[in-house]
Chain A
Amino acid sequence: MKITLRIWRQANKDAQGKMQTYQLDNVSEEMSFLEMLDLLNEQLTDQDVEPVAFDHDCREGICGMCGVVINGAPHGRYNSPVATTTCQLHMRNFKDGDVIDIEPWRAGAFPVIKDLAVDRSAFDRIIQAGGYISVNTGSAPDAHSTPAPKREADKAFDAATCIGCGACVAACPNSSGMLFTSAKIAHLANLPQGQPERRLRVKAMVAAHDENGFGGCTNVGECAAVCPKSIPLESIGQLNRDLIASLFRGDGRTIS
């Protein structure tokens, strides 16, 4: 296949970026999208042009490190028949002669570092605010001491599959990080071990979300549509219910 790529190039976070066009021949159907970018980078290296910077690591759709906007959709969701990460998108979903636009996540909370790589440390700060159960190593009771109903445990699992890639933020017209935040809320709220800190957690995480420059959620649903792990939109409903309930409790921090 011959492919035309239009890629966002930006030298650093303060530099002005622009779309740059590259031609690529010999793209095979079997290649993953990132292997296609590897091919481009080998070609650029040959031509003494600096390769395109992009984040990636596991290349099996689980680490959450990769993620670019492809033809306007995070992870190229419009080009894939199924939910996908960028690394699991394959070139068999494109055809000879295609023009592909590749851009970084665009959100105030995710500043561009270089080309297609962005800074997502704001997600870590949301988790730091309360996305955990406070249990020190060594202090746990026997695993079977508290049975967890299967239905809720399965729900917790579904929410816990979030990989923190940031596609939800990139897709949202408000750059809201609410799907990400609610995935952690729903994960821990559906387990017996998550109950003691449930109200406190939701207040703290939502406050951290807002402080880190993410926009508010207006239930557009683009986040869930592009999520590579199909985190359901209803987890935001769970977050809202828990948040409202928490407002009638004195524990935790107050939301301004």
Chain B
Amino acid sequence: MTTTAPDPALSYYTLGEEIHDTKAPGGPIEKKWPTRQFEAKLVNPANRRKLTVIIVGTGLAGGAAAASLGEAGYHVINFCYQDSPRRAHSIAAQGGINAAKNYKNDNDSVQRLFYDTVKGGDYRARETNVYRLAEVSASIIDQCVAQGVPFAREYGGLLDTRSFGGVQVQRTFYARGQTGQQLLIGAYQALERQVNAGTVEMHTRHEMVELIVHDGRARGVVTRDMVTGAVEAWLADAVVLATGGYGNVFFLSTNAMGCNVTATWRAHRKGAYFGNPCFTQIHPTCIPVHGDTQSKLTLMSESLRNDGRIWVPKRAEDAEKDPRQIPEQDRDYYLERIYPAFGNLVPRDIASRQAKNMCDEGRGVGPEVTEVTQEGESRQRRRGVYLDFSDAIDRLGKKAVEAKYGNLFDMYEQITGENPYEVPMRIYPAVHYTMGGLWVDYDLSSSIPGLYVCGEANFSDHGANRLGASALMQGLADGYFVLPNTINDYLSGAPFEKLDERTPAVAEALSSATGRIDKLMGIKGNRSVDSFHKELGSIMWEYCGMERTEAGLQKAIELIRELRSEYWSNVKVTGAAEDFNQALEKAGRVADFMELAELMCIDALHRRESCGGHFRRESQTEDGEALRDDEHFAYVAAWEFTGDGQKPTLHKEPLEYHFIELKQRSYK
């Protein structure tokens, strides 16, 4: 694509000042983190209990941060929307967690994990943060083992590891297909220990609905008690958001039903920049959609690609055949064919796009569905490819396959009614993770002083595509090791001015939160919240999903604006505001998704290159791979909110690579 042609995105945003200082210290990359730790100002242990830190979210990042700051002696107030901190969606992560331990003696190192992550992210991640992530990765495994996380072990009693996408070493630690669950239970136990010790005050079934910013600092949050409906202000010296990603903007995703953007979006509206909102990850191995009433999609772990082989029939006319009847020579193991070096273990963005390409060609499998293309043309396609374990079962035996993947196979059978030991699984890509999130500096501070952002909620480490088993690593790195060593630098300036409910900033946040709830309750329209959410999701999937175009994105922005204005005049929220009201909970979240969706499309429109999970049809290589434009787009897009109906302001943070050479990604 030529970048000299007039950029239509320019009519949707204004350009602000660039960001050059990310607070990472100078010097060689391996000295940066020790230097920062040494230079950060400290808070005397005796003073810590006088300082309050609010943490929103209890997943791997939030739970780990709350436990660690509680252990350090701070007074922590922790919120989650679920009925227990143990239910955060980190629990659903299946495959594993990366760490540069080199226990397999296969040439792994901090440098290699750093390199793999930057390359996997298609060179759109910040070098300094990623290096630190690789550096602390080994300590995470140590910490979790000490907590009693039952990682898979070999007969000698030592830890087992396996491979994941986008790498050629075995650095992924796992606990069968339930690694996220086990790591989260570890963090949850550490958290409950601090609740018992009195350092952490836990509030479940509380949703953050507003951020309190006073005198330029984040000083608290407003929550809605989801049982009583009470709206309350909570004040603190610093606020940490660890509220996960925004994949549910697509309605159908592998996220939990309650996952939402509200906390980060409310913070964005109060001044926190939003980084790379269009970078979303479409995971290649999910159970295909079964119909209109589907509420969520289920992931089949990437670890399955270690032993499962992905294929489609060579000929479209074989699509309806029983796959077991299709002979070897009529199968196209397309990932092994196109990417011989990495085979079935190419990064997720590539595996997803190739699955889409195969199905677009008409070689997909499963039930035929009618679909409308971006150009408005109607066609019949099958949306599924095979993930086949018959070779692995022949090679290793059914028992060994069961030991490794048993729970995933059971889950597949329960959902689809098919037995994957007998018939190949059918899979298709689905929205899974969002690399974008609130912009943070090296200290994980957002652009609002005193507001820190951890885990998936921030944008920092995965660039334009996250590698498998890196989300758990990042969540725990931020929560256990990074934040507890940076937030002290800010808190050393505390305590700050005492606030109460009469302080204008607090009163304003409270009245803004209740005003919004009253508005939603007062519309009394004709359409359910879910019907709007589904429509928003289908717009996003079609135009801002696996393939994006200039015209399509512009159309999406128009559609989103129309839908949003209908929402605020025609949504129906039943029940009462001061009650346990799930319709109202959803209504607030969907309202925020409607605003985020537009920013995602603007971001996707302005980024006139393909990189990682962001694929612009206009920017591809001859053989259909993502074509980056490093000259014009090697930057983080940090968006500033400027008011309802106003154009957002784009701040570019140039990405400088001093320790890794920028290259065209190749997995061939």
Contact A28 B227 (CB under 8 A): no
Q: Is the CB of B514 closer than 8 A to any CB of chain A?
A: no
Q: Is the CB of B484 closer than 8 A to any CB of chain A?
A: yes
CB-nearest residue of chain B to A157: B150
Q: Is the CB of B46 closer than 8 A to any CB of chain A?
A: no
Contact B67 A137 (CB under 8 A): yes
Q: Is the CB of B356 closer than 8 A to any CB of chain A?
A: no
Q: Is the CB of B433 closer than 8 A to any CB of chain A?
A: no
Interface bits B85-96 vs A (CB < 8 Å: 1, else 0): 111110110000
Q: Is the CB of B494 closer than 8 A to any CB of chain A?
A: no
Interface bits A142-153 vs B (CB < 8 Å: 1, else 0): 111011111001
Contact A46 B528 (CB under 8 A): yes
Residues of chain A from 56 to 96 with CB closer than 8 A to chain B in the complex:
56-65, 82, 84, 88, 90, 92
Q: How far is the CA of A140 from the CA of B148 in the complex (A)?
A: 11
Task: Return 16 A-B CB contacts under 8 Å, by A number.
Answer: A30-B291, A59-B295, A60-B299, A92-B417, A124-B86, A135-B190, A137-B67, A137-B68, A137-B190, A138-B480, A140-B143, A144-B158, A157-B176, A164-B84, A164-B86, A193-B145
Q: How far is the CA of A119 from the CA of B579 in the complex (A)?
A: 15
Q: How far is the CA of A237 from the CA of B429 in the complex (A)?
A: 45
Beyond A45-B574, A51-B574, A157-B150, whether A59 also contacts B257 by CB under 8 A is yes
Contacts from A to B (Cβ < 8 Å)? 12, 28, 30-32, 34-35, 38-39, 42, 44-46, 48-51, 53, 55-65, 82, 84, 88, 90, 92, 113-114, 117, 119-121, 123-124, 127-129, 131-144, 146-150, 153-154, 156-157, 160-161, 163-164, 187-188, 191, 193-194
Beyond A34-B295, A58-B92, whether A153 also contacts B147 by CB under 8 A is no
Q: Is the CB of B336 closer than 8 A to any CB of chain A?
A: no
Contact B481 A137 (CB under 8 A): yes
Q: How far is the CA of A74 from the CA of B261 in the complex (A)?
A: 33
Contact A156 B150 (CB under 8 A): yes
Q: Is the CB of B293 closer than 8 A to any CB of chain A?
A: yes
Contact A127 B189 (CB under 8 A): yes
CB-nearest residue of chain B to A137: B68
Contact B91 A62 (CB under 8 A): yes
Contact B157 A136 (CB under 8 A): no
Contact A191 B148 (CB under 8 A): yes
Contact A63 B148 (CB under 8 A): no
Contact B142 A193 (CB under 8 A): no
Q: Is the CB of B193 closer than 8 A to any CB of chain A?
A: yes
Q: List the count of A-B residue pairs having beta carbons below 8 Å apart.
A: 216
Q: How far is the CA of A88 from the CA of B415 in the complex (A)?
A: 7
Chain B: residues with Cβ within 8 Å of the partner, total of 81
Beyond A62-B178, A137-B68, A143-B101, whether A156 also contacts B87 by CB under 8 A is no
B302 to chain A, nearest CB (A): 15
Interface bits B185-207 vs A (CB < 8 Å: 1, else 0): 10011101101100000101000
B42 to chain A, nearest CB (A): 15
Q: B580's contact among A12, A56, A121, by CB below 8 Å, is which?
A: A12
Contact A42 B528 (CB under 8 A): yes
Chain B residues lying within 8 Å of A49, measured Cβ to Cβ, are 574
Q: A133's contact among B89, B146, B151, B156, by CB below 8 Å, is which?
A: B146
Q: How far is the CA of A60 from the CA of B300 in the complex (A)?
A: 11
Contact B582 A133 (CB under 8 A): no
Contact A133 B290 (CB under 8 A): no
Contact B195 A128 (CB under 8 A): yes
A69 to chain B, nearest CB (A): 17
Contact A39 B148 (CB under 8 A): no
